[in-house]
Structure 1
């Protein structure tokens, strides 16, 4: 999902500058590839939605798990939670469309993106779609913080037109944005660090257990060899 932002950004940016009738062959080719990539992206959303509509027992099928298990990894298979990845793909697409195509309408752009982020926060709160509690807290905290940051930016954008707030109040909103974004970074680094430490500790225990088993086999072989030499 992390690469979806990069892919969607380059895709929508190319659509914004679409020139299928350009005399330049490279521009025409780039525009054509953007159209194909757009179709593939929309199809991938449709495909994930169709997979999410499977019955609950189908998700436990070994064949389904092998083919598509990664799509639903860590997601609760509930009525709405199972659509999380499809919703994230749609959200990323809408976000990029607003970011690029609504560039000349800043108030509409910021308000729409704020509503988009707020809707995602409500989805996390209402449906709790993730199995891992730490990951859920990280995603929820990040989304809520982004919503507050965007709300502050929206207020500042509107104030840029209305000139209602004083310079000091605008500074407070600016510091609020910095605080929320910094808190996202701190929380994500902290939780990711803990998860990595937990993973490494688990792997260490497995390696230690394996090493003990190997040593046990060698020790048993040495005992057998020693006993055999006594009889000779």
Structure 2
């Protein structure tokens, strides 16, 4: 297998996932800053032009960080980051979807339309006038998520899962691109510090191919 890695939140999610899994997979770096992911030959690897991607041993390619994580969990079920029972897997996916659909997608698009505008305006449709609203929605939904947070210490109770990874990486990214979250949130605030203290949080800042 070969991972196509990049300096971007979704690839970092996958890096942190691999570190927690204690998996080592060969990788190459795609330069998304210069738009290499939107050009050949990378488009022959992933026509969607997104990172990360995973080339399988048969030469086929999987794209989307979520799908790659699901695939690797099935190959290497321990330590479990999605779940070892149908109930656990469903619970993890429930929180994972809540995080993605309500928070991280808004952070992502707000970045495209504001701080990342000069980088993306020649690549994708951008709506600068929507940026402030998207940021506001992300923060509102984070308060919403905080209110549903159970006894913890993680989103899925006592299980650290891929849902925690996804939310942590994107909140960390948001803080770096003028989208800081309210650290006084009673549940998410301490949770963030808890995840940040995991060795994989810091180590995942480094590219796999470095």
TM-score in terms of structure 2 length: 0.34
Higher relative contact order (CA 8 A, sep 6+): 2
Which is richer in strand?
2
- TM-score by length of structure 1 reads 0.32
Q: Pick the structure with more helix per residue.
A: 1
Larger radius of gyration: 1
